[in-house]
Amino acid sequence: MSKTKFEFTDNVMYVKGVGPRRAQALEKLGIVTKYDLLTHYPRTYENHTELTDIADIIPGEIALIVGTVIDIDSHEIRRNLTIINAILKDKTDEIKLTWFNQTWLLKKVRAGTRLLVIGKAKYDSWSGLEMNQIQSFTILEPNEEPELGITPVYPSTAAITQQVFRTAMKNLLSSMPKLKEILPQKLVREQYLIPLDSAMRNIHFPKDYATLDAARRRLAFDELFLIQCGLMLIKRQTRDERLGISHKKNGALVDAVLEKLPFNLTGDQKKVFRDVTKDMEDKLPMRRLIQGDVGSGKTVIALLALVKTVQSGFQGAFMAPTEILANQHYETFTKLLDGLNISVGLLSAKVTRTKKLRDEVYKKISAHEFDIVIGTHALIQEGVTFDNLGLVVTDEQHRFGVSQRSTLEKKSSLVPDMLVMTATPIPRTMTLTVYGDLDVSLIKELPPGRKPIETQAVTTRSRKKIYDFVRAEILAGRQAYVVCPLIGRSESERLADIESAEEIFDTLSNGIFRDIPCALLHGKMKPSDKDDIMEQFHDGAIKLLVSTTVIEVGVDVPNASVMVIEHAERFGLAQLHQLRGRVGRGAAKSYCILISDTKADVARSRLDVLESTNDGFKLAEEDLKLRGPGQFFGEAQHGLPDLKIADVFRDIEILIQARDAAENFITDDDNLNYFASLRQNLAVAYGDKFNQITEA
Ligand code: ADP
Ligand code: MG
């Protein structure tokens, strides 16, 4: 029989030791092809490198022993509990082995059977030494030498034992031809990588621990390098294909705005604006992400950049995730641009609801009667056309998908510059993988005079005390927020005992705060009512605002000094941090009070973390640990490739090396062609898995 050619795309059932029945069980683990099996990497390893003589077993320590069974029997202790005992003997001593309920053993293991056993023993003076915690064992053929080594443990289900996995993997590896090197030799050498073939074999059956490390590093590097190359490629293409705009140098108009600002820019703001200025003056389109914690002053950077585009004769667009924020930006802009002959337009829900008003605004946009247009998603509606769009700024990027970002960008015949701002403190590791096509600027420094917000988690028993404190703050001239998770209450929520914003508003405004101007704000209200209330709160006419999370992002009322969050356990960490960021924006000391009676561990640890730090980056790392990256990014995570072996937290060092390597690699045109063919080769060799990895 002629041997058929080995293909990675072959069904896994053709691997010796698998077959159709086990293939079905493997499919539940996502393993369909030989390639899937090959890249089903071990979860961990057992150290089977050293045999212990039975005489040398230390109670409580893991030992690997080999011996011959001299006796085996079973006792039914009670229903559903059968104990199987065997005596195992080697040349030094004997030991009693104990299994529970595995009666099938009696058929396979008899006096004379040789076993390799790994487990822990205990000692008591009555029954002597007994191995009662058996982790795994293998039945050896009469003359078979036990195979010692670092043994893989695979992620598995009950249907597939470790033994089956190991055997199948061994058979797969022995039938697999030697893998060709996929990376250029130069790169392999520079990065001190071991060959791909050796890495694949040693990740499953490591020769020793040093080789295992090297194998892991090699495979993680490949994964990360390919992703980075993909991202660099996108970055390069957007920059190559079409022509961008070179903005004029900062002139009188930008200076006039700087002059009008009621404060000086912080060092970080200056630095970020320098980055932006440089990008905008460059011919290549700007693709920049500004990351700055809540309250770090990102809006003014957007303002300056937009003025810069206007100064060069272009229009600018500023997209905000909520109506309230768009209005707020509009107000800030009109105030700061007053008298400078720059016209600012607002495209809000109010405008788009009536056709007449909408058409009017659309016309003004396309006729370039507005220099700067601020709006929500309304900006990316079909009917909106710009005359000469030079810059697009999106605020709180994590709320917009990547596709929305590019829709706005396409509303121009030119390639407008693009600035993305986010307060979501995405850890550097994540930025590299998710936003690898963007350049990143950081604002770490907060404007001067900010006092750290004091955060306290309390139970409902302290409510009275808390509201007395809020009252005192308001009487001292400050303002406060009370945030609740729900607007009204459904039946189930009534049962769950969660007060809604409406109820809390009723209680507070008719009770302890009855002599104080209070208002209720939530997402189901008419936009015009929302605007009114925000305006009054902003002007200080309303002192206490009971609200849902509509105020979560961006709202800026510096006089507010207290944030009370009811049922704090119902919010995520990032969300709580955003809410907390609504206070601490002025000179007064600010407080964030988290009310919760929860006893759940995860919720409690969230509250603990918030109490312990104001640093958004630290919080983000914690949040990722608590919930994992999928949760953290939600929808926006689309396109984040599935990593099989690399871990963007543990492998940050490899990630940075891979990124640097990709950066050098992709700038070279020869390499670019090589990379394109590399992807093709990989697609041929491995099915389309590698394409999935590299397609961002
Ligand atoms: P965010 O980064 O959260 O969007 P904002 O841009 O809303 O922050 O700024 C928060 C507050 O800080 C605003 O009231 C703004 O006017 C003020 N601010 C911004 N920059 C400075 C600065 N350099 N000095 C003092 N206050 C500043
Ligand atoms: Mg903001």
The best mutation among 261, 263, 374 to test binding of ligand 1, ranked by most ligand atoms within 8 Å of the C-beta, falls on 263
Which range among 6-10, 564-568, 627-631 has the greatest average pLDDT?
A: 564-568
Candidate of 290, 335, 556 to mutate for ligand 1, largest count of ligand atoms within 8 Å of Cβ: 556
CA of 297 to the centre of ligand 2 (A): 7
Looking from the CA of residue 264, the nearest atom of ligand 1 is 23
CA distance 439 to 430: 13
Token pair of 437, please? Answer: 């096509």
Nearest CA to ligand 1 atom 16: 297
Locate 127 and state its tokens. Answer: 């029954």
Mean pLDDT, range 524-553, rounded to an integer:
86
Output Rg (C-alpha) for the chain, integer angstroms: 32
d(CA 676, ligand 2 centre) in Å: 40
Q: Kindly indicate the confidence band of residue 16, based on its pLDDT and cuts at 50, 70 and 90.
A: very high
Q: In what order do the strands lie in the sheet with 417-422?
A: 344-347, 372-375, 315-319, 389-395, 417-422, 287-292, 439-443
Q: Residue 591 contacts by C-beta under 8 Å, 6 or more apart in sequence?
A: 453, 454, 455, 456, 469, 473, 561, 562, 563, 583
Q: What average pLDDT does the structure give for the chain?
A: 83
Residues 267-274 have a mean pLDDT of 96
Average pLDDT of the residues in 535-542: 92
Distance between Cα 263 and ligand 1 center (Å): 9
How many Cβ atoms sit within 10 Å of the Cβ of residue 598?
A: 16
pLDDT band at 239 (very low <50, low <70, confident <90, very high): low
Residue 476 exposure: Cα atoms within 13 Å on the Cβ side: 14
Mutation choice for ligand 1 from 585, 590, 614, CB with most ligand atoms inside 8 A: 585
SS percent in the chain: helix, strand, coil, step 5 = 45, 20, 35
Distance from C-alpha of 4 to C-alpha of 302, rounded to nearest angstrom = 63
Query: What's the pLDDT tens digit per position in 627-686?
Result: 554 444 433 333 445 567 887 667 778 888 888 888 888 776 666 666 666 555 444 444
Q: How many CB atoms lie within 10 A of CB 386?
A: 23
The residue nearest atom 18 of ligand 1, judged by CA position, is 297
Crossing angle of helices 209-240/652-667, nearest 10°? Answer: 40
Ligand in closest contact with the CA of 616: 1
Nearest ligand, CA 584: 1
Nearest bound ligand to the CA of residue 554:
2
Ligand 1 closest atom vs CA 298: 2
Ligand 2 centroid to Cα of residue 289, in Å, is 13
**Can you tell me the distance from the alpha carbon of 361 to that of 67, in angstroms, rounded to the nearest whole number?**
87
**How much distance in Å is there from the Cα of 390 to the middle of ligand 1?**
25
Tokens at 440, concatenated? 């990143």
* Pair of tokens at residue 428: 């550097």
pLDDT at 690: 39
Residue 485 belongs to what H/E stretch?
Answer: none
Q: How far apart are the first and last CA of the chain?
A: 44
Residue whose CB lies within 8 A of the most ligand 1 atoms, among 272, 300, 324, 399, for a mutation test: 300
- Categorize the per-residue pLDDT at 426 as very low, low, confident or very high, splitting at 50, 70 and 90: low
Ligand 1, CB cutoff 6 Å, lining residues: 263, 265-266, 269, 292, 294-300, 423, 447, 554, 556, 558, 585
The predicted pLDDT at position 149 comes to: 86
Q: Which atom of ligand 1 is nearest to the CA of 265?
A: 23
- As given in the structure block, the two tokens for residue 57 are 């077993």
The confidence score (pLDDT) of residue 372 equals: 97
**Is the predicted pLDDT of residue 71 greater than 60, yes or no?**
yes
CA distances from 424 to 547, 558, 577, 626 (A): 22, 20, 9, 16
Predicted TM-score (pTM) of the model is: 0.62
Phi and psi based region of residue 397 (left: phi greater than 0; alpha: psi -120 to 50; beta: remaining):
alpha
3-state DSSP assignment of residue 287: strand
CA distances to 62, 64, 67, 95 from 112, in Å? 24, 19, 9, 15
